[in-house]
Amino acid sequence: MRRPFPQAAMLRRTATALALSICGFAACAQAADAASLVLPPPQPSLSVAQIVARNVAARGGLAAWRRIRTMAWVGHIESAHAPMPSMMFTLEQERPNKTRFEINALGQTTIRVFDGNHGWKLRAAPNGGPDLQSYSPEELKFAEAAPGLDGPLIDYHAKGSVITLGGIDRVYGRRAYRLDVALRSGENDHVWVDARTFLELRYDRTSFSQAAMPVTVSMYYHDYKTIEGLRIPSVIETGVGSGKEPDRIVIERILLNPHLDARTFAMPDAPLPVQRSVRR
């Protein structure tokens, strides 16, 4: 009998966070934490349009991002809450918001797939066999409202979002513009943009717990790398400020416009497949 993965709940939370953005998988409910401190409201010298324009330029430019149709990340997840300290993952994305996310640990592969309309999750059942389920209504709503592979700020007008300036805070000691993003779906997100580099430092989205209660998913971006002219974070922390050791998503390899066949975003097959390699 195959050994079931003993931390399925943690894997589901991590997978959800990763699917958020170019980036996105653990959820933690918090309004403000030690990493993000609210400053007195200043009179900013930049408008929302200027902040977003500088963010887009800092990330490589609008034209360069629009040329990206698919993207893949390969790396590992470091978590003190898992049965092993490092778990391999692959995240594949295709415009407008298709995602496939796989985690491999202890010989088991957990898969989450969203094809733009339908979502599925495949994992080991308690008896060790495959357990294939459709997304819950909350998971489907969350996936449908995802910002896509270039995040919530790039082309936000085309995505039907409205952005306002919420203030200037500190994130890990850095001054950051807090942008309030109202999505077409009705979801309200928050993005913190570094006032010096204009790269994102933090991104908050509203998700749902297993009991279908709203919670805040917070991700902190670190160690930006330049990949073919685009600036992309190579480390993402989740669970910051929860009183527990944060989970770290470490991206070791990033592929731009890799070939992704039709099976990538189809309903997963059972039994659990081995983790696939990504082809250029």
Distance CA 279, CA 213 (A): 39
Is residue 36 over pLDDT 70? no
Determine how many CB atoms are found less than 10 A away from the CB of residue 180: 15
For residues 147 and 20, the answer to whether their CB atoms sit within 8 Å is: yes
**Does the residue 243 lie in any domain?**
yes
**Residue 272 belongs to a domain:** no
Segment 165-171 mean pLDDT: 93
Distance from C-alpha of 170 to C-alpha of 37, rounded to nearest angstrom: 5
Q: Is 279 inside any structural domain?
A: no
Provide the domain count of the chain: 1
Q: How far apart are CA 74 and CA 92, in angstroms?
A: 9
Average pLDDT, whole number, for the chain? 81
CATH of the domain at 232: 2.50.20.10
User: Would you say residue 130 lies in a domain?
Assistant: yes
pLDDT band at residue 3, thresholds of 50, 70 and 90?
Answer: very low
Whether residue 280 is contained in a domain is answered as no
Tokens of 44: 């900013």
Record the pTM: 0.81
Query: Is 274 part of any domain?
Result: no
pLDDT tens digits along 203-248: 998 776 666 677 788 899 999 999 999 999 999 998 765 557 788 9
169 has a pLDDT exceeding 90: yes
Whether residue 271 is contained in a domain is answered as no
- The residue range of the domain holding 19 is 8-265
pLDDT attached to residue 161: 95
Is 200 contained in some domain?
yes
> Does residue 13 have a pLDDT over 70?
no
pLDDT of residue 206: 79
Residue 204 CB coordination number (10 Å): 20
